[in-house]
Structure 1
Amino acid sequence: MTYSDFLTAKDVIEAYQTLSKVVRHTALEYDEYLSKKYHAHIYLKREDQQRVRSFKIRGAYYNIIKADKEKLKNGVVAASAGNHAQGVAATCRALDIQATIFMPVTTPNQKVSAVRRFGGKNITTILVGDTFDEAQQAALDYTQKNQMFLVAPFDDYATMAGQGSIAVEIFNDAKDQAIDVDYLITSVGGGGLISGVSTYTKYISPQTTVVGVEPETAQSMAAAFKAQQPVTVSNVDHFVDGAAVAKVGQLTYRQAHRYVDRLLAVPEGKVAQTVMDMYTYEAIVAEPAGAMPIASLDIIAKDIVDQTVVLVVSGGNNDISRMQEMEQKSLMYKGQQQFYLVEFPQRPGALRQFVNDVLGPNDDITRFEYTKKINSETGSVMVGILLGEGTSVTSLTQRLSAFFPKYVNLQENSVLFNMLV
């Protein structure tokens, strides 16, 4: 296939026609809980219901099926933080193609196991680097050395077109349900999803506002918009692993810059809270990247009153072992969970005084680590406090400061926090 300088709606439609025989047409569901909460008409596009539990199989399959067969003879290579790898693995197994997949060492075990399960004997996984970008560089080097075909996770027209097939389904279903879509919101990692979706959306429904949502600590598309070209952002947090990309693609940047109306950034703690809420109230298991569009609703709540909003739940590959981490991040985001490093006087009754003078009547100690030191007047204590009803962070820190003025708020020191908590 030959593409123009920009991906077009025609390209997306062609991808949809091919993929309609392969991928699952996922549900466009009215969400009563979110609609009541935000006084809007909110629908979820449930890509977490795909066979590989994410949208990524669309771009992976379409990229591979459209490749020159001569380029596939030595097999394919992919780099991924998890979901793209699963799409490539499932595709290669279905088409009986060999694949080598590079994934960051930090990829959740659930996603690594899923890749191996979907790919079976057709795939080899290699864990390398701490970030997606490091894994991608390793994949590029391997591709050149072994003359294999690289299945790009986002910065490729075929991949973008495949991801854009989601929008074709959304607007076909919206037409069937007599829905006019005012807002379409999706997550942004490398930009493949938002590029494909926005391209078709602006063709079929120009009045629809297209919104992209990034993690607060990985705003690579926003940085590209500001610099007018893709740039590398530093200090990327990998909690939202499906969107923790330090640099968007050149093609995806150009496409998004043309068609995306607005970019939003959400804190990781808010994303964690949303994952917990969706599981608790709606029994929906969304991974952090899949929950980002829902998490963004608080930011634009005033804008969407009485509007029809479609949120793409891009994936549901959430490792159950991460739920404790999610709960902690959620509580910290809401200000209910606090961690401090405090110098305790080493005398009898010091702990009792701390409980009586610092904690509120409904507060609880969730963590307390202390080792008594010989010949020392004080000892360092790491304490976690769950704030109860009636206690604010301000009042707690005021009492803590009175108890010992030189305490350290671990929420404000990421190095100490990661080491101690």
Structure 2
Amino acid sequence: MTVAERKNHDKGVFIDVSAAAQRLSGVVNETPLSLNTTYSELFGAIVLLKREDLQTVRSYKIRGSYNKISALMERDTKLNHVVCASAGNHAQGVADTAKKRQVKATIFMPVTTPKQKIEQVNMFGDQWVDVKLIGDTFDQSNDAAMAFAQRQQLRFIHPFDDPEVIAGQATIGLEILKQHNEPIDYLFVPVGGGGLAAGMVSVFSQLSPETKIIGVEPSGAASMGLAIERGRPTALAQLDRFVDGAAVCQVGQHSFELCQSGLTDVLTVDDGLVCQTILNLYNKDAIVVEPAGALSLAGLQQYQEQIKGKHVVCILSGSNNDITRIEEIREKALLYHGLKHYFLVRFPQRAGALKSFVADILGANDDITYFQYQKKHNRESGLAVVGIELKSESDFEPLMDKMKAQGFFSDYLNHQPELFSLLM
């Protein structure tokens, strides 16, 4: 083939990237592919970042939504109303497309969606969008959107499980190969529903088949890994929504069919490592990314031996991060590195007990960051929940030993999810 198109004859998935590139020409930004010195030095590789965080609507999602809606309008000149469901980036992509193509869009979002994201959708779509807040979760909102589209006989714009949406996302691959003249050894791609990863497979399988494509999922939403293990898209029994841009209960059929044969590997990464990556990018490179946007870079740690001396591309998929999440992100990063610990501490019911705890138990660099005390338990002692931040992970065992030796220790909470979640 001379263009980046792929036909999977066994599965019948056709991805027309060439047509998508023509539709998106002059509409989306050709985002930079930039060398990142920090991560290149850290891993001894040439690490390049594809900056979709700098895309219009601050994520790659505009590519798929614009290509899909434009293709529909080419086939149906009377199309004037579409429907979608999203908790964030897809909604913004559809809203921006609706305004550009002057098509009404009814966008369903969960009631729990942060106000900032709702305002962004209304800003990008202006008078062309109607936001409906229905359901406590994305799945409930999505069900309502699909039912509405069916009742009104309107076209539903899927966030990932659609060949034309995948083709729009695939144009990122064309840009990467145009921007980098040397062979790309590894491409790390964030995976949620699989639309972006499927798009990369579509392009690289034809134009750079030697490139190893590594999908990276959050450990609490590893739906692609489960699908590949089972041989079919399978709904997760539980879903952690922290990495909200990639928190998908079940990958799409189309994206699965492409990724099953095209991905070299699918990794899962801990939320804490994702959070540390967000902080690293902000503190060292002044780059703002959302949790899903940091997934690809977080995946490098598991491939640190394989990528030494190699040309590596990581896609930063978006920067729609709510500033109110920063403290939670910092907390998760500290927990991941073993620098933040929560305890139930037993304080003797006597004057000076807290002073003794600070002077005799805490190390010189330890810091109390959370303290909640109730003097109600019995005459001899009272329990307090205490959060302690350490400067070094090695300070944990001496702290624990001193607490036990002097009778302050009651329980350790970090490994008790139900209790610990009340503090986070």
Q: Distance in 1 between matches of 2:357 and 2:96?
A: 56
Q: Is the 8 A contact 1:74 1:148 kept in 2?
A: no
After superposing the two structures, state which structure 1 stretch, 230-239 or 162-171, moved more.
230-239
Structure 2 partner of 1:198: 201
Structure 1 partner of 2:120: 114
Q: Distance in 2 between matches of 1:140 and 1:258?
A: 30
User: 4+ residue runs of structure 1 moved beyond 6 angstroms?
Assistant: none
Q: Is the 8 A contact 1:72 1:149 kept in 2?
A: no
Counterpart AA for 2:63: R
3-state SS of paired residue (2:314): strand
Q: Is it true that 1:61 corresponds to 2:80 in the alignment?
A: no
Unaligned 5+ runs, structure 1: none
The one-character-per-residue Cα deviations of 1:195-232 (angstroms, maximum 9, x if unpaired) are 01111111101110000000011100000011111111
Structure 1 partner of 2:40: 35
Q: Is the 8 A contact 2:62 2:90 kept in 1?
A: yes
Structure 2 partner of 1:164: 170
Offset at 1:389? Answer: 4.4
Matched positions, count: 416
Unaligned 5+ runs, structure 2: 1-6
Q: Distance in 2 between matches of 1:179 and 1:131?
A: 44
Q: Compared with structure 1, are the counterparts of its residues 71 and 406 closer, same or farther at alpha carbon in structure 2 (3 Å cutoff)? A: farther
Q: Distance in 1 between matches of 2:44 and 2:260?
A: 30
Q: Distance in 2 between matches of 1:31 and 1:127?
A: 39
Q: Compared with structure 1, are the counterparts of its residues 351 and 85 closer, same or farther at alpha carbon in structure 2 (3 Å cutoff)? A: same
TM norm structure 2 = 0.93
Q: Which of residues 131, 140, 150 in structure 2 aligns to 1:134?
A: 140
Q: Which of residues 80, 87, 90 in structure 2 aligns to 1:84?
A: 90
3-state SS of paired residue (1:21): coil
Offset at 1:405? Answer: 7.5
Q: Is the 8 A contact 1:6 1:255 kept in 2?
A: no
3-state SS of paired residue (2:266): strand
Structure 2 partner of 1:235: 238
Offset at 1:33? Answer: 1.6
The one-character-per-residue Cα deviations of 1:80-113 (angstroms, maximum 9, x if unpaired) are 1200100000000111111111223343433222
Counterpart AA for 1:183: Y
Q: Is it true that 1:50 corresponds to 2:55 in the alignment?
A: yes
Q: Is the 8 A contact 2:105 2:128 kept in 1?
A: yes
- Aligned residues: percent identity? 43
3-state SS of paired residue (1:399): helix
The one-character-per-residue Cα deviations of 1:139-181 (angstroms, maximum 9, x if unpaired) are 111111221110000000110111111001111111xxx2210
Structure 1 partner of 2:387: 384
Q: Compared with structure 1, are the counterparts of its residues 370 and 268 closer, same or farther at alpha carbon in structure 2 (3 Å cutoff)? A: same
Structure 1 partner of 2:212: 209
The one-character-per-residue Cα deviations of 1:375-400 (angstroms, maximum 9, x if unpaired) are 54332211110113484323322333
Q: Is the 8 A contact 1:213 1:266 kept in 2?
A: yes
Counterpart AA for 2:107: I
Q: Is the 8 A contact 1:239 1:268 kept in 2?
A: yes
Q: Distance in 1 between matches of 2:211 and 2:254?
A: 22
Q: Is the 8 A contact 1:344 1:379 kept in 2?
A: yes
Q: Distance in 1 between matches of 2:360 and 2:152?
A: 67
Q: Distance in 1 between matches of 2:199 and 2:98?
A: 23
CA-based RMSD of the aligned residues comes to 2.0
Offset at 1:239? Answer: 1.4
Counterpart AA for 1:78: C
Structure 2 partner of 1:317: 320
Q: Distance in 1 between matches of 2:161 and 2:393?
A: 50
Structure 2 partner of 1:181: 184
Counterpart AA for 2:185: D
Q: Compared with structure 1, are the counterparts of its residues 200 and 374 closer, same or farther at alpha carbon in structure 2 (3 Å cutoff)? A: closer
Counterpart AA for 2:49: L
Q: Distance in 2 between matches of 1:131 and 1:273?
A: 27
Offset at 1:266? Answer: 0.6
Structure 1 partner of 2:4: none
Q: Compared with structure 1, are the counterparts of its residues 374 and 21 closer, same or farther at alpha carbon in structure 2 (3 Å cutoff)? A: closer
Structure 1 partner of 2:130: 124
The one-character-per-residue Cα deviations of 1:24-74 (angstroms, maximum 9, x if unpaired) are 111111111211111001111000111100000000001101115649646
Offset at 1:134? Answer: 2.5
Counterpart AA for 1:109: K
